Amino acid sequence: MAPPKMIISEEQLRLRVEEMAHAIAGDMRGKDFILVGVLKGSVVFLADLMRGLYRQGLCPMVDFITMTSYAEGTQSSGHAKIIGGLHLDVAGKAVLLVDDIADTGLTIKRARDHVLALGAKEAATCVLLDKPTRRKVEFAPDYHGFSIGDVFVVGYGLDAANRHRCLPYVAELTGNDIS
C-alpha cells in the first residue's frame, strides 16, 4: 500500500504548533486553566502543544473527553456523542478544548457546550486543522493551525477507521488507501 500523500510536513507542524503555543500562552497566562483534549484524534497535537506551552512557561492541568461522530467511515454521522467524561472538576475554571480538526463543527461545539454546562468559567477552542467550508453549525475556533479544503486527511493523530494515526505528518487520503 502506498503511503497517503503528505500535505503538511513534520517541520511545518512543529513550527505552527510552537506559534500556537505562543499565542495561547499570551492569552492564558495568569489564568487557572485546564487543557481538555478530545479523544482520540487530539492526542498527538495535544502532546506537542502542551510541551510548547511548557516552553512558554505554562503547565496547565490536562484532562480528556472521548467523543464520537463517525461510525467507521469518512462521513460524520451528524451526531457528536460524549462517550467518556472528564475526571477533573472544571467548575469555575478556564478550559481550552483541543481537537484535531473542526469539520462540520458539531464535535467541538458540543464539547464546549458540555464543559460550560459543567460550570467552566470560560471555554476556548483550539484545533490543529479547520475545514471551514464543511460547517453544519455556526462555529469558529479561537485558535487553529491550518485551514484546509474539503479533503479527508490522516496522520498526526487523525485517523480513517482507526488507521494512519501514527503518521508523523498530515496526509490526504485518496480513494485507494482507506485501509
Please name the helix (run of DSSP H) or strand (run of DSSP E) that holds residue 46, with its range, or none.
helix 43-55
Output the CA torsion sign for 65, 53, 141, 33: positive
Q: Is 155 in the site for Mg ion (CB under 5 A)?
A: no
103 annotated active-site = yes
Identify residue 142 by its one-letter amino acid code. Answer: D
Assigned C-alpha cell, 1: 500500500
- Angstrom distance (rounded) from CA 75 to CA 97: 23
| CB 99 within 8 Å of CB 115 | no
Among 4, 37, 41, 52, binds Mg ion (CB under 5 A): 41
Q: Is 153 in the site for ligand IMP (CB under 6 A)?
A: yes
Q: Is 141 in the site for Mg ion (CB under 5 A)?
A: no
Distances 76 to 134, 135, 161 between C-alpha atoms, Å: 11, 11, 12
As measured in angstroms, the least distance from the Cβ of 99 to Mg ion is 6
As measured in angstroms, the least distance from the Cβ of 68 to Mg ion is 8
Query: What is the per-residue binding string for ligand IMP in 47-86, x denoting contact by CB under 6 A?
Result: ----------------------x------x---x------
- Angstrom distance (rounded) from CA 97 to CA 139: 14
The residue (of 10 and 172) whose beta carbon lies closer to ligand IMP is 172
Among 8, 13, 98, 107, binds ligand IMP (CB under 6 A): 107
Number of residues that bind ligand IMP (CB under 6 A): 19
The residue (of 58 and 67) whose beta carbon lies closer to Mg ion is 67
One of 99, 103, 130, 159 is an active-site residue; which one? 103
Number of residues that bind Mg ion (CB under 5 A): 1
Strands (E), 48-121: 61-68, 81-84, 94-102
Residues in region 160-179 near ligand IMP by CB under 6 A: none
Strands (E), 69-142: 81-84, 94-102, 122-130
Which stretches of the chain bind ligand IMP, using CB under 6 A?
38, 41, 69, 76, 80, 99-107, 152-154, 158-159
Residues tagged active-site = 103
